[in-house]
Amino acid sequence: MNIYKSLFLFFTFALTSCLETVDPDTYNCIDSNQVAAISVISTTQVSDVRAYTDEKILCKSNTELFFKKNKDDQFYHYSYNDEEVDSEYEDWFVKLGCYIKYNASLKSKDVFFQIKKANQLDEIKVDSLLKGKEHIYAISEQDTAWLFSFEISLLNDGNPDYNFSISSKLGCHGGYCFVTLPISEKEFCFDKNNENMKYLFE
């Protein structure tokens, strides 16, 4: 995983989404009601995710975050380098996802979420799950017991975006279970030179 590049994209995204005012010559902004986020959370390696219809790709993996903890610890923390995990003493998980420009017309189309692992390619129909201003998470069925064993946030900083005990459960199919959490930002702003986000403004 190109974790450094992905983390840079993520924090650029997070920082600019929090700005109250931005330079319109430098940034494009979009109301979060027009954005649906979709990610996979996994305790096994994921190399790529994308959402698409028969007509076009809606988004490709552009946010990747890696978390780990000592096996004796309760909560996870951000890690900048997945190569340094000692599987004998540490647990880890990865979040890999992307952002879709959401509008009502997607409800009338077949939208698929593709998850690529080393020797496995999963495709799950998700159009009925998508909604503006919500983040959809796909969790493999083998990871659900681990994830829902946490009654508060998975992270040591208490980040509510990882508190799946308050998520809405959307059911399981295709080997994955789906939950949703609300997007808290009012709008997202991206550098106009960020090629990974230009599709949101097409």
- What is the pLDDT averaged over residues 141-163? 93
Q: Is residue 160 a contact partner of residue 125, using CB atoms and an 8 Å limit? A: no
- What is the pLDDT averaged over residues 127-136? 93
**Closest by alpha carbon to 10, among 161, 165, 179, 164?**
161
pLDDT above 80 (res 19): no
pLDDT above 60 (res 127): yes
pLDDT score at 185:
85
pLDDT above 70 (res 124): yes
Provide the domain limits for residue 127.
Answer: 3-201
Question: Rounded to whole angstroms, how far apart are CA atoms 5 and 153?
Answer: 26
Q: Buried b / exposed e across 35-73, counting CB within 10 Å, b at 16+? A: bbbbbbbbeeebeebbbbeeeeebbebbbbbbbbbeeee
- What is the pLDDT averaged over residues 33-39? 93
Label residue 14 by pLDDT band (50, 70, 90).
very low
How many domains would you assign to the chain?
1
pLDDT score at 51:
94
In terms of pLDDT, which residue wins out, 87 or 19?
A: 87
The mean of the pLDDT values for the chain is 84
Q: Is residue 37 a contact partner of residue 118, using CB atoms and an 8 Å limit? A: no
pLDDT score at 5:
43
- What is the pLDDT averaged over residues 35-41? 94
Predicted TM-score (pTM) of this structure = 0.83
